[in-house]
Structure 1
Amino acid sequence: MSWRSYCICFTICTLITILPVIFIEIFSPSSVNFHVTETLLTQFNLTNNNTLYFNFKVNITARNPNKNTIVYYRRITAIAWYKDNDFAYVSLTPFDQGKKNTSFLQTAVFEGSSVIKLKHRQLAEYYIETRAGVYNDLTIDLDMRVRYKYGSIKSTRFNPPIVQCRLRVPLISNGTSISSFNDTKCSNSYFFVDRDAGD
């Protein structure tokens, strides 16, 4: 093989390797970011028969940082967890999110009762947290079905990765709490992929 042929072959191989990466970097939208901005926990009582009575409200925002992408939220389910036990869920109102936009996802209201089974260590932690007036292991998961439009190209509907909001929530008793809630960023994988694509 001549030196010129080698250079051409090397250049082609390099382009084949690099071009998909460049394409992804240029044309893939940035991930949507979610924050819990406010919580209101006024009841969180666990009885001897493992029944949890709760009144819990959460405000969540979504930030679409992209200047070329519109996100269409077609289903949003907020699921409340405490120490690995899901105890309530609520459906939030679908909406369309414009470019470079921060949207409020409606207040998620969890109210009622549910049977949960805490392990011995988790139960001990619950009593410690109750005495302290702050619950450390409350989590809100967002299970969504979306589609998006990038420029003039619109995706099919898909299920992005679950968004997890791990919270430290003060209990409000008689209108007061011992501490304030801090704005909390939720964790999620890259938003614009279908989590079921490999199934």
Structure 2
Amino acid sequence: MMIVEVIDPACVDSTSLFATAIAHARAQFDARLVATRSWKMPSPPIPILVQGVGFFDFLHGQTGAAPNGIELHPVTDIIRDPPPCGDVSSDRLVNIGDALLVAQFDVGLRQCGLTPFSHPVVCDVNGDGACNIGDALRIAQCDVGLVSCAFTCAPFTCPSMTSTTLGTTPRRPQRRRRLRPSSTGL
């Protein structure tokens, strides 16, 4: 269980790096639900994906806290009716186009979270905590029928949205080599 808090944007300093994202998340919340002073489960439950800043809260017996102390506060994005796992373009299809977007992201040709790579949170189809060529391959295999498309996504967060890169290691820049003609002219 995790506790998430969709805070009132008026409580956020306008100079905060998160101010715009918090206001967007709250607008998404307000468009579907009504905030109350007490917690209650929506009926029927609403499937969503949330993104935000995670932290461990000190357990001191308060009500409404997760048993493990993990909270997501503030929420920076709410995705209602999330796309299927692997559908990074959010067109409701998992296909070779998604595989291409993931591969382009992996080699630095596509920026994380920007259209058309708009839902990287559903990228990690192989559960390794990264969004990389391994995921692109699984998505491509799904599209041609080699593997099932019933993926279970591990959450992936764009490296630019967090202080650490989840499950990836920085790449060392390639050294440039000068090509010299061979003595045979080939």
- For Structure 1 versus Structure 2, the TM-score category normalised by the shorter chain is under 0.3
The structure that has the greater radius of gyration is 1
For normalisation by structure 1, the TM-score amounts to 0.23
* Structure richer in strand, relative to its length: 1
- Answer 1 or 2: which has greater helix percent: 2
Name the structure, 1 or 2, with higher relative contact order (CA <8 Å, separation 6+). 1
